Amino acid sequence: MAHQPLHPKPGSTVKLANYNPDYVGEYDKSSARAEEKKLEEKLAVLQERLYAESKQSLLIVLQAMDAGGKDSTIKKVFDNVNPQGVRVTSFKAPTAQELAHDFLWRVHREVPPKGYIGIFNRSHYEDVLVVRVNRLVPRDVWRKRYDHINNFERMLADNGTRIIKFYLHISKDEQRERFQKRLDDPEKHWKFSTGDLAVREQWDEYMKAYQDVLTQCNTDYAPWYIIPANRKWYRDLVITRTIVETLEDMNPKYPPAEPDLDKVVIPD
């Protein structure tokens, strides 16, 4: 099986038809889970160092079509880290107050402070995805937002926030299967909305919108990764590995200890 890159070269034009959502490389479920378990142990240590150092932060953006696996990714990848150092923000439809401000206002407030990992379950990219597909603002408005987003992310990067963005790439057939499982299981009915079917009818328009996002907003300081996500075990592996490699590059360190700790005696 030919190697499929995760990260398109910044400045290149992305065509999602060139990315196979079933791709798993040389892995099977057993080998992927074994490697992921080891990576999760590294992630726990790196996250603790990041929190202790409190000089940098990491922002992780998750985007996908409905049933793409954003929630389960968060649950699986971060099940071994200290929850005190992780903040998850799920962006829903904007409130009246949020609509009264610029589209990045509500996003900036949720950026992780130094020492934290922040996870965006959907993000500011909804304003060039759902807003575009549903024609909620004129074309000349949303087209300017690519530059606004790039400048915003550049500012965050310059301020010590590392950014990595994951597009969970599933096929339309896989989405249908996941929807059906939700319908077949009463305990998963809460996860299904008939509105999801209306969005599914817009699949091709969303693919075009995602391609433009992955082309226009894929930068060295805030890269996009296209994650083959039909197989959850492979998705979890490559996302965990990418986060670990990013944190290793950030190289957070424990702060120095107070002097003369070897002389401290704990009183009875």
d(CA 187, CA 259): 56
Task: Mention every residue, 6+ apart, whose C-beta is less than 8 A from residue 159.
Answer: none
φ, ψ of residue 255 to 5 degrees: the values are -70, 155
Average pLDDT over residues 175-194: 93
Structural contact between residues 236 and 76, judged by C-beta atoms closer than 8 angstroms: yes
The pLDDT value recorded for residue 238 is: 98
The pLDDT value recorded for residue 252 is: 97
Average pLDDT over residues 74-95: 94
Q: pLDDT tens-digit profile of 22-32?
A: 999 999 999 99
pLDDT above 90 as % of the chain: 93
Q: pLDDT tens-digit profile of 135-150?
A: 999 999 999 999 999 9
What domains sit in the chain, N to C, each tagged with a CATH number?
Answer: 16-249 (3.40.50.300)
CB atoms within 10 A of CB 122: 17
Length of the chain equals 268
Biggest CA pair distance of the chain: 71
Average pLDDT over residues 11-28: 96
Alpha helices in the chain (DSSP H): 29-53, 70-77, 96-99, 105-108, 130-133, 139-142, 145-158, 172-184, 195-200, 203-216, 232-250
Query: Residue 122: pLDDT above 90?
Result: yes
43: amino acid identity, one letter: L
pLDDT, the chain, mean = 96
Residue 241 buriedness (CB in 10 A; 0-12 / 13-18 / 19+):
middle
- If we measure between CA atoms, which residue out of 178, 150, 145 comes closest to residue 165? 150
